[in-house]
Amino acid sequence: MSEPAKIEPATDSANFARGRKRFRLICLALVLGFVAIGARLVTLGFAVTEPGGSGLYDISSTVHRPDIFDRKGTLLATDIKSATLYADPPRVIDRDELVEQVTGVLPGVNAAELREKLKQGRRFVSIKRELSPKQQAEVHELGVPGLGFVEEYRRVYPVGATACHVVGHVDTDNRGLAGIEQFIDENPQLSMASVSGESVTLSLDLGVQHVLHEELAAALDTYRAKAAAGIIVDVHSGEVVGMASLPDYDPNRREQALDKDRLNRINSGVYEMGSVFKVFTVASAIDAGTVNLRSSYDASAPIHVASFTIDDFHGKKRRLTVPEIFIYSSNIGAAKMALDLGGVRQRAYLTKLGLLSRGKTELGESASPIVPATWEKLTTMTVAFGHGLSVTPLQLASAMVPLVNGGIAVPLTFLPRSREDGMSVGTRVLKRETSEAMLSLLRLNVLKGTAKRAEVEGYRVGGKTGTAEKVVGRHYSTSALLTSFLSAFPTDAPEYVVLVMLDEPQRVAASHNEATAGVNAAPTAGRIIKRVAPILGVAPKLEDDQHKFDARLLASY
Amino acid sequence: MLRFFNICLCLALVVLAYVIYQVKYDTRTFDVAIASLSKDIEAERDSVAVLRAEWSLLNRPERIERLAQKYLDLAPPKPRQMLALETASPGDLERASAELSSPSLPPLPAVVKAPPKPTSKPPQPASGAQKAPKPAKLAKPAPSPWAPIEASVP
């Protein structure tokens, strides 16, 4: 800093002072400017750069779904990435050339439709979804401007139709439309994160499922039935280990699912099940104490009520004991038994067993049962042998569970659940003794009654057949039958309930030119049990060993 | 003195600027590497998904059953051929070995573990248990069992 000289004129000194002030101001401005730039540089330096921000890969536009596994870890459904071809109309140079070239490579594309869509001039015209890598390469080779690819997830079901009604399927945007797929969308908390991504495990066993599916398909073919359905349930945990309904569809070709004939009959169809209902009539009567295994009813003459006549199919024309009513499937006996029980108590038992209200599982609510509006004396009698009340096969299997597991109604589930959990979430609806009596009746029916053809060496099958006449027009038809077999095995320590249902089986040579449940549904169930029992780990016991279960049973009868 | 100090500062500035640029460029290359690696990981993950789907496709019980019927002369075990190890008596073993030595009788009884009753799920044989492959059969290079593979990827 130089001192202003006194000799210099005052004006100069004033100018100089002013100049210095300006100089300082400019310096300050510059310093502030540099500080600002520096600060910005520092913030930029610290800012985290997004690793994927450079546009190197595309974020998929469809939802990524969790994989679905069966109880043993077999993959049932997974996501695979595939490309979708789209066009960006403003960038298209020659519309006609593009349409021509694209349809040349992808013959499935509708040319007129595509031309129309391009004319509308939106920014994104989807041309074809789910391109194979080869097709993608071919389109890329064309080098037509205005075309682009988006990567999308596509759902694949490696096991195909085998588990279709349980697993369900998805729409083109990978959203669940049916079955467990839909349930997952509604309950995202289900999917468990693991090394290989998100996954959901089901209670289904693919081995069991396959046997069920295959045997039902064989039965459909052998007995020339319109439809077949079956379900296998663990009686302690309430887990559904197998469920199939034929005809079914391949979830990889989802358009097939629209066919009405391929609906899931287990959950969505209601049927008058016929004589299988006698298990519930007998169980209710035994539980209420109105009968015991030594009681008997006169079944020598048909019952006439109003304009109806209740008669027996396998008529014995004599007095029958309760076990005889059960194994000869006497409608007269069952009707009289229900009358003794009374309509009110009958209804109460059916309600407790869940047969009068919609069941709810992970597959959504089951179809609503068709319950008679008024519960008259005639209703009591017909419901006793399974007419006048329509239920879903799923409800039937679910109601069978307490009859064989000691009286505990366990809600069915398609997700894994341990046997202890199943028993603790269940509610007691029947006495333990009732369940024991029912097991001996069920086994007796296979040893001596209508279900002899369901016998499988070593697995002590017990069950009840049912042959119901379907309502065609306004009358029950004698040719259109619905046969079913409701069973449990092994009857000395029950583990699984098996239900098989055939819709309109024909009188074929394989079933001795008969069409009743004893010759089609029962042997089908027997074949299924024979193959699934080793998979499910049920130990076989032979009667000639120290196990005298059947002999004791027959002695008591 | 002051000038020397200023020159030093200037030099330091240049050196620092160079270092910063170097680091900056390094990070940029690393970023690109990360991006391409994540792309590779994604691609690998996708191909793993495809392979798992294919594995499941090839292991469908339906296909295994067909192949087993074609290439193996095994049948599902009969209840008579199964014994629980815990309850097997010496008599059972003698009978089994007698059956083994006589050629007309069915093959060796498969020994299964007795299921520990109601508490926990019994040990379950794998889904295809009834047609477990016999090692001797597999050792022989049979006509390739992979021949009838359908569409490789769904």
Residues of chain A with pLDDT under 70: 1-10, 48-62, 121, 194-196, 543-547, 557
Q: In terms of DSSP H, where are the helices of chain B?
A: 2-58, 61-71, 90-101, 135-139
Residue B153 pLDDT: 36
Which of B27, B60, B125 lies closest to A537 in CB terms? B125
Same domain, B48 and B91: no
Closest CA to A172 of A198, A148, A153: A153
The architecture (CATH level 2) of A209-556 comes to 3-Layer(aba) Sandwich (3.40)
Residue A434 pLDDT: 92
Q: Is residue B144 part of a domain?
A: no
Give the homologous superfamily in CATH for domain A56-90+124-202. Penicillin-binding protein 2a (Domain 2) (3.90.1310.10)
- Contact A52/B at CB under 8 A: yes
Provide the shortest C-alpha distance from residue B125 to chain A (in Å).
6
Q: Is residue B130 part of a domain?
A: no
Residue B30 pLDDT: 95
Q: Which of residues 91-150 of B touch A (CB under 8 A)?
A: 112, 114-115, 117-130
- Contact A543/B at CB under 8 A: no
Same domain, B15 and B62: yes
* CB distance A173 to A187 below 8 Å: no
- Contact A547/B at CB under 8 A: no
Residue B146 pLDDT: 36
Q: Where in chain A is the domain with CATH 3.40.710.10?
A: 209-556
Alpha-carbon distance A4 to A14, whole Å?
A: 9
Which of A162, A493, A540 lies closest to B82 in CB terms? A540
Q: Per the structure, how many domains does chain B have?
A: 2
- Contact A156/B at CB under 8 A: yes
Same domain, B86 and B62: no
Same domain, B88 and B32: no
Same domain, B84 and B66: no
Q: Where in chain A is the domain with CATH 3.90.1310.10?
A: 56-90+124-202
Alpha-carbon distance A249 to A253, whole Å?
A: 8
Annotated catalytic residue, options A82, A237, A275, A329: A275
Same domain, B5 and B22: yes
Q: Is residue B25 part of a domain?
A: yes
* CB distance A376 to A397 below 8 Å: no
Which of B36, B115, B127 lies closest to A207 in CB terms? B127
Domain span at residue B94 reads 76-114
Q: Is residue B120 part of a domain?
A: no
* CB distance A156 to A101 below 8 Å: no
Provide the shortest C-alpha distance from residue B141 to chain A (in Å).
27
Closest chain B residue to A252 measured between Cα atoms?
Answer: B154
Residue B93 pLDDT: 74
Chain B residues in contact with A51 (beta carbon < 8 A): 31, 34-35, 38
Chain B residues in contact with A57 (beta carbon < 8 A): 35, 38-39, 42
Same domain, B55 and B27: yes
Q: Give this prediction's pTM.
A: 0.76
Which of A158, A236, A493 lies closest to B154 in CB terms? A158
B54-113: per-residue pLDDT in tens? Answer: 888 898 888 998 999 899 988 877 877 777 777 777 777 777 777 666 555 444 444 444
Which ipTM score applies to this complex?
0.71
- Contact A38/B at CB under 8 A: no
Residue B101 pLDDT: 64
Q: Is residue B150 part of a domain?
A: no
* CB distance A482 to A503 below 8 Å: yes
- Contact B31/A at CB under 8 A: yes
Q: Does the active-site annotation cover A275?
A: yes
Q: Is residue B146 part of a domain?
A: no
What angle, rounded to 10 degrees, do the helices at A278-288 and A377-384 form? 110
- Contact B4/A at CB under 8 A: no
Cβ neighbours of residue B80 closer than 8 Å, sequence gap 6 or more: A457, A458, A542, B106, B109
